[in-house]
A and B are shown apart, each in its own frame.
Chain A
């Protein structure tokens, strides 16, 4: 069956890109990869570019945000600004421009491969894993990122490692879309601190479409710190598929600021007993949409998930938080909690929160809570009555609101760097308020 036969809508830029360029994409001719790309474009075709009519995208109309078809980026030779957003320069680092590897610097303990250079010599761990996650019809943009992958990076971790993935999006003279993938395989008992940053220069409309696969083998640990601070016109979708084996632990802190539309679309499977996941998300926005949509899939007994999402919204910004916790049959003693909080700083600011529970097992604990509101007037008065000027008092309260999301992640240098970024973003937000 041809991929395009499933289509129910006229071919859009992704389908046309695939029809025209499949034969020249990286790794074309590798049977395993060709097959996965074909399945993926078919999966994407089931919804096409999501509009509000697709339930999971009802708050975030991607199709509507596009100003027109965007040209795929398959080459970029321009200058790349390398900024150490996480403070001190990490030893191991990969720099990507528009999703294409520019520079790899690793010292050992990590195997790193450029996905733009796949060939028959590519190692088995890539062949075994690439495209197995974050590419199904439930995650249509992830499927497109695999089908149309022009570049990206695959990483295999043994021992205890730290890696900085730096995505840089320099200005382009035309509207552009980058389709890229990240594959991280943390071997049994190994651990990785993954620092991931995305930054962009203002210019024509860009869509960064990234698919991320996280494979945690038994007893593996992954700490994932992610900072997305793209320019105000950018569109940014990151689809994450994660799978946690027995006693594996995933701890993540995501921060989104900037971008006209950003979405993290995560499906995390707690596949085996004792697997634990913690996801904290911070969104600071002055306009546009920041969306985090997650599925925590409790597929085995004694699995734990914790989610804490906090949004600070000014101007006419809109924060979207959707979290579905699914407890499968037999996944007894599953323990999950999700809490979504939003602080609205302007009358036009908006927050949409949608927690969902699907429970098919007995003896589970699943909690959730949602709180959306303005800054506490009592607290603001208290601080001002003690001499703290209004602007500073508001800043103090906003930072206090966000503080617990950062506790316990990474080291002080990373936390400070992240806090500094958040402060910058808050400063611009407050300015436009007063």
Chain B
């Protein structure tokens, strides 16, 4: 069965149609990449999948394990295993990172009917995952993302992915702004989660990430539509020739 099935999806933001009929299926166990020019609608697609207010589905459907995603609140989608690593993670001064991680983890567990973890267990779990991503204790004590560097914010997104162990992970340009070492760490984090029961949608501008996380399929999004799909080689081809030709040909 397809883990994610998007069928002729139309999305309007502030009265403007941004997604104009997207059709895309990701079977369980696969990693798909989306590439495409700036402003083509990649982040819009990711926000719509995560359920952000103001992203109005005016046509088509999104199914997650056969369930209509559009009928679920963002927090319900998260509890069911949908995770979105944001292109621009939000700074929230006044909420300590560790407190946030614990609150989110336990909210998801509660929603799934699992027992909540106490402060000590959470801390142990977070520490263990953080070490693998080279995130130090000090960062965890600071307010959420406040004053974090671009790369630190992205690493914290991946830490959350590692902690929540989602079934469908959507990474929106998680590689942008990462140094080479961090890119490897992030790719390792993603690859560690690859499993027959999981699927991933990786949005990126760069072939470099895809040489670490080799995708099963690559899709090109332009002007709100998928204009081309292919294997991992398509990313290389795009890097060589740019989007213009692909978009024109379509």
Contact = CB atoms under 8 A, between A and B. Distances in A.
Given A377-B53, A392-B103, A400-B95, A387 B90 contact: no
Interface in B29-67: 50-54
Contacts of A389: 73, 75, 107, 111
A382 B86 contact: yes
A366 B107 CA distance: 44
A392 B92 contact: no
B94 A382 contact: no
B79 interface: yes
Contacts, number: 77
B160 interface: yes
B84 A385 contact: yes
B3 interface: no
- Between A377, A382, A383, the greatest number of chain B beta carbons within 10 A of the residue's beta carbon is seen for A382
Contact of B104 (A381, A383, A402, A404): A383
B78 A387 contact: yes
Contact of B92 (A382, A384, A387, A402): A382
B52 A385 contact: yes
Given A382-B86, A392-B107, A387 B94 contact: no
B92 A388 contact: no
B95 A387 contact: no
A128 interface: no
Contacts of B77: 385
A355 B78 CA distance: 43
A57 interface: no
A231 to B, nearest CB: 30
A394 to B, nearest CB: 12
A390 interface: yes
B78 A384 contact: yes
Given A385-B74, A385-B78, A379 B90 contact: yes
B6 to A, nearest CB: 18
- Between A387, A389, A392, A399, the greatest number of chain B beta carbons within 10 A of the residue's beta carbon is seen for A387
A382 B89 contact: yes
A388 B75 contact: yes
A383 B103 CA distance: 9
Nearest to A378: B90
Contacts of A379: 90, 92
B108 interface: yes
B93 interface: yes
A388 B104 contact: yes
A387 B84 contact: no
A376 B92 CA distance: 9
A96 B105 CA distance: 47
A403 interface: yes
A396 B103 contact: yes
A304 B79 CA distance: 50
A379 to B, nearest CB: 5
14 contacts: A382-B86, A382-B89, A382-B90, A383-B104, A384-B51, A384-B74, A385-B51, A385-B75, A385-B84, A386-B78, A386-B100, A387-B108, A393-B75, A397-B92
Given A387-B105, A388-B103, A392-B107, 16 more contacts: A376-B90, A377-B54, A379-B90, A379-B92, A383-B100, A384-B78, A385-B51, A385-B52, A386-B100, A388-B107, A389-B75, A392-B103, A393-B75, A396-B103, A397-B94, A404-B94
State the 5 A-B residue pairs at the shortest beta-carbon distance, nearest first.
Answer: A400-B94, A387-B78, A387-B108, A386-B104, A384-B74
